[in-house]
């Protein structure tokens, strides 16, 4: 069996703790582990062979988090420059596999609490997949959820797929007993899926095949943007599962949650005796059943109930529980006001390390930059800003123009506007510098890369 992890997502449903460049699957909310890491760990009992289909901007984040687990994995990455939904993403993984490989396709952002039951469900699915069936997993519903699609089943036979229902319809599904939440997990042979995709969505099959065959293949499979743009965006459900005559469902009671909202996150987090989520940064007096997430600040509540309060360095969201599905609407408004705030945290992750914005105002920005041992930024220049670098710790190897030199703690240098420059850390410890930018425009898109170890544009 070969595990395929789908690692897409726009980072909108759990904003502001997740952003488009730091989506929820990478946020370490669970005992310093992310949902992505839990997905990897959960499936190592089934296979050590993994393919991760991921946005190219998040490649090194995914790679770093897999390596943090220190597991003996045979892993490969397929990098998407833009998302085209699950049908093309799974097609890429199937093209990358051997025809008779059985693929277990799982999202990267789900929680599953019942490991033994999960493994038993996968075993049943694998047996069906070996008979050339396309298998989906149906989650036994515990309440009339309106945010999920449903599967109508007769035993293991799928009768129909249902769109997200209204409350009355969902209550009917729950009462009927043969409807299941659509989990978004699948199991099938690579060649069987591709045959069905070619039959029911031939345009997606052909354009995806072209994109895979023309991808750059080095440490990862790097799909080209111009090829991805030719692929119709479509889910596997619409493209294949709702049309194929080879579909089975494995009913599964596995303690599943897709964490699609702060309400579902609240259900999974540990709580005190009054139903408030546990956090070292909170004090509650007479308050009950509140979800509180805080990065640094102390959050105190008095006599409030059923609230969601999420606090990050640059944003705070307060909502009634039960209304958190509207966070997507909020993010749309945030993008109008400040697009960068929807994309990235004050601390941003890069292939070479991280940067944190310490101060920003008209005409200047101050960052703390941390470069991992052996890593270096791209050789680059800026049209609109100059930079001052001050080393806090470590040894910085700096290139400015044609000159390369080392800087130690308390030493500094100046990079004029439009001067080509580079920062590198050839030491064994993290390099930390303070960067002061001065200029008429300080956006992250004012970077012209001349040479880059990570093959970014």
pLDDT confidence of residue 258 = 84
Question: What mean pLDDT is predicted for residues 319-323?
Answer: 92
Asked if the domains at 2-257 and 346-451 fall in one CATH topology, the answer is no
Q: 456 falls in which pLDDT band (50, 70, 90)?
A: confident
At residue 191, the 3 state secondary structure works out as: helix
pLDDT confidence of residue 164 = 87
59-68 vs 35-43: helix crossing angle, rounded to 10: 60
CATH of domain 346-451: 2.60.120.10
| 285-315 confidence digits (pLDDT tens) | 999 999 999 878 999 999 999 999 999 988 9
The CATH-assigned architecture of domain 2-257 is Alpha-Beta Complex (3.90)
pLDDT confidence of residue 365 = 94
Domain boundaries defined on the chain: 2-257, 262-326, 346-451
| 60-81 confidence digits (pLDDT tens) | 889 999 999 999 999 999 999 9
Record the pTM: 0.86
| 161-186 confidence digits (pLDDT tens) | 888 899 999 999 999 989 999 999 99
Alpha carbon distance 16, 310 (integer Å): 7
Residue for token pair 């544009």: 457
Ramachandran bin of 286, using left for φ above 0, alpha for ψ from -120 to 50, beta for the remaining angles: left
Q: How many other CB atoms are there within 10 angstroms of residue 416's CB atom?
A: 13
Q: Residue 399 has which token pair?
A: 């290139």
Q: Residue 279 has which token pair?
A: 């956090």
202-213 vs 86-96: helix crossing angle, rounded to 10: 50
Q: How many whole angstroms from its chain centre is CA 433?
A: 28
């Amino acid at each position: 069996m070969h595990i395929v992890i789908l690692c897409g997502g726009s980072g909108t449903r759990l904003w502001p703790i997740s952003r488009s460049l730091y989506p929820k699957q990478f946020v370490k909310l669970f005992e310093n582990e992310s949902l992505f890491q839990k997905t990897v760990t959960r499936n190592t009992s089934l296979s050590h062979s993994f393919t991760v289909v991921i946005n190219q901007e998040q490649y090194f984040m995914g790679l770093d988090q897999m390596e943090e687990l220190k597991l003996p994995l045979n892993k490969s990455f397929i990098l998407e420059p833009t998302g085209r939904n699950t049908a093309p993403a799974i097609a890429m993984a199937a093209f990358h596999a051997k025809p008779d490989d059985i693929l277990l396709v799982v999202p990267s952002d789900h929680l599953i609490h019942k490991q033994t039951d999960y493994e038993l469900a996968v075993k049943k699915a694998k047996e069906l997949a070996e008979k050339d069936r396309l298998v989906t997993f149906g989650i036994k519903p515990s309440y009339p959820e309106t945010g999920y699609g449903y599967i109508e089943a007769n035993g293991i036979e799928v009768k129909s797929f249902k769109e997200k229902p209204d409350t009355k319809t969902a209550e009917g599904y729950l009462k009927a007993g043969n409807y299941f939440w659509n989990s978004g997990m699948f199991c099938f042979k690579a060649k069987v899926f591709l045959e069905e995709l070619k039959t029911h969505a031939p345009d997606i099959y052909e354009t995806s095949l072209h994109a895979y065959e023309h991808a750059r293949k080095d440490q990862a499979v790097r799909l080209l943007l111009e090829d991805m743009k030719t692929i119709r965006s479509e889910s596997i459900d619409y493209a294949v599962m709702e049309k194929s005559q080879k579909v089975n469902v494995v009913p599964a009671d596995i303690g599943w949650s897709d964490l699609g909202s702060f309400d579902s996150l609240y259900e999974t987090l540990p709580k005190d005796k009054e139903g408030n989520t546990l956090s070292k940064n909170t004090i509650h007096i007479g308050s009950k059943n509140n979800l509180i997430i805080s990065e640094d600040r102390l959050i105190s509540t008095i006599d409030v109930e059923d609230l969601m309060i999420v606090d990050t360095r640059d944003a705070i969201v307060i909502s009634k529980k039960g209304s958190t599905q509207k966070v997507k609407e909020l993010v749309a408004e945030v993008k109008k006001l400040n697009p960068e705030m929807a994309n990235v945290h004050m601390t941003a992750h890069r292939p070479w390390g991280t940067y944190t914005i310490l101060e920003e105002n008209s005409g200047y920005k101050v960052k703390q930059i941390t470069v991992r041992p052996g890593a270096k930024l791209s050789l680059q220049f800026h049209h609109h800003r100059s930079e001052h670098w001050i080393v806090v710790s470590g040894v910085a190897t700096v290139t400015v123009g044609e000159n390369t030199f080392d800087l130690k703690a308390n030493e500094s240098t100046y990079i004029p506007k439009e001067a080509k420059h580079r920062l590198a850390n050839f030491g064994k410890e993290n390099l930390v510098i303070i960067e002061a930018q001065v200029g008429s425009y300080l956006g992250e898109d004012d970077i012209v890369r001349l040479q880059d170890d990570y093959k970014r544009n």
